[in-house]
Amino acid sequence: MSGAALKLGCIADDFTGATDLANNLVRAGMRVVQTIGVPTGPLDTEVDAVVVALKSRTIPAEQAVAQSLEALRWLQGQGAQQIYFKYCSTFDSTPAGNIGPVTEALMDALGSDFSIATPAFPDNKRTVFKGYLFAGDVLLSESGMQNHPLTPMTDPNLVRVLQSQTRRKVGLIDHSVVAQGADAIRSRIAALKADGVGIAIVDAVSNDDLLRMGSALADLPLVTAGSGVAIALPANFGLQPSNQAAALPAASGLQAVVSGSCSVATNAQVAHFIASGRPALAIEPLRMAAGDDVVREALDWARPHLASGPVLVYSTAEPDDVRSIQAQLGVEQAGALVEQTLAAIARGLVELGVRQLVVAGGETSGACVQALGIAQMRIGGQIDPGVPWCHAASAAAPEGLHIALKSGNFGSTDFFTKAFTAL
């Protein structure tokens, strides 16, 4: 890497989560690049933070550990002064992990005897109080996350959840301490360490809580969190919010949205886009499975519409429809088939001249970014909490394109039209 050593080295367990973290760092004044997987060589640009995006949330724990340690070694090679492990603001994990095992392995590798864990992200209504995680107004276990197909979250008590995944003792820094500020948090950390605690869940119900936490975390080799804590760390490196950090090249080219997310928020966003009268095409998994050339049909459909503004191609469907498709094709097969099809459509759209692309869904984003041959993305301005515009060179657009990767449950209802006005 040219210039000064990296300040913050980040490891994210999925692609949209990585841009979410990068977005908060940029807003707090850091220049940030997100890499797709662990880079094979040094970065060729000077930035304050790098977020290495992995797809390690639900893979077997030992693979998640191995990939995270590989990312750590690369970040250390770039001189990273502090490491940040980013997971979901709904603490998505199974009893086997992967938050606990990855945290433990990173602590071991860094020789660290204490770290914190908090998925709090008040801007997106994720708060932690007395160690219990709330999504909106309800406990995590009543938020719909209890029914998640891969990582059902049935226990909102994060001390218990994390303790079930790690051999280190898990403790709590509760809100009464956080509210008193950094000195009180530092004293509590010292007391917890003396008590043999290795990882502490930290309460936060507001951005002020996160900002109070910031300076108390400056000396930790490893911070583990959702994206919320990121708003507080750049100040530890002497950085302040600035528009410069979010500067991207000027936008040009055609506009499109590709959506494979079936989350509640995305369903509302698709409905809103259709209601606004913009062109939208639903693609059908059963026709893909039957071997119909859905990709060519979608691109033929899109071609005449593109000149007059954004188009949407989507597989987004309501839960009953998704269950029916999964029953016929199998859960994994349906997912993979739809992801590959949407990724091929995204690539085709870029070949048709799309240079402003919104992708909805974490897995869908992973597939699209890979199909586009994107190795790294520069992070720009926020569209909505957790979702920034990014700029990336792509095999299909070597001069670069603007791309936004939207987590399933993020974004306002008009996100698919609003996004293009934010460039």
Ligand X SMILES: Nc1ncnc2c1ncn2[C@@H]1O[C@H](COP(=O)(O)OP(=O)(O)OP(=O)(O)O)[C@@H](O)[C@H]1O
Ligand Y SMILES: O=C(O)[C@@H](O)C(=O)CO
Q: Do residues 258 and 352 lie in contact, with contact meaning Cβ atoms separated by under 8 Å?
A: no
Q: Report the amino acid identity of residue 138.
A: V
- Pick 42 or 149: Cβ nearer ligand X: 149
Least distance in angstroms from the C-beta of 314 to ligand Y: 18
Q: Report the amino acid identity of residue 306.
A: L
Least distance in angstroms from the C-beta of 116 to ligand X: 24
Among 226, 285, 335, 400, binds ligand Y (CB under 6 A): 226
Least distance in angstroms from the C-beta of 301 to ligand X: 18
Among 67, 93, 341, 407, binds ligand Y (CB under 6 A): 407
By the rule CB under 6 A, 165 interacts with ligand Y: no
Q: How far is CA 377 from CA 40, 87, 110, 401, in A?
A: 15, 19, 27, 10
Residues numbered 346-385 forming contacts with ligand Y, rule: CB under 6 A = 362
Q: Is the peptide bond before 23 cis (omega within 30 degrees of 0)?
A: no
Alpha-helical (H) ranges within 221-292 are 264-275, 285-289
Q: How many residues bind ligand Y (CB under 6 A)?
A: 12
- Pick 57 or 212: Cβ nearer ligand X: 57
- Pick 100 or 310: Cβ nearer ligand Y: 100
Least distance in angstroms from the C-beta of 393 to ligand X: 23
> First CA to last CA across the chain, in angstroms?
29
Least distance in angstroms from the C-beta of 155 to ligand X: 20
The Cα–Cα gap between 207 and 189 comes to 20
Pairing of strands 138-139, 132-135: antiparallel
The Cα–Cα gap between 213 and 216 comes to 6
Q: How far is CA 333 from CA 57, 250, 285, 330, in A?
A: 19, 39, 10, 5
- Pick 224 or 227: Cβ nearer ligand Y: 227
Residue 326's binding partner among ligand Y, ligand X, none (Cβ under 5 to 8 angstroms by kind) is: ligand X
Residue 411's binding partner among ligand X, ligand Y, none (Cβ under 5 to 8 angstroms by kind) is: none
The Cα–Cα gap between 402 and 247 comes to 12
Residue 263's binding partner among ligand X, ligand Y, none (Cβ under 5 to 8 angstroms by kind) is: ligand X
Binding residues for ligand X, rule: CB under 6 A, are: 16, 260-263, 266, 285, 315, 317, 322, 325-326, 334-335, 338-339, 361-364, 407-409
Q: Do residues 69 and 32 lie in contact, with contact meaning Cβ atoms separated by under 8 Å?
A: no
Residues numbered 14-43 forming contacts with ligand Y, rule: CB under 6 A = 14, 16-17, 20
- Pick 118 or 261: Cβ nearer ligand X: 261
Residues 6+ apart with CB under 8 A from 336: none
The binding site for ligand Y (CB under 6 A) comprises 14, 16-17, 20, 88-90, 226-227, 362, 386, 407
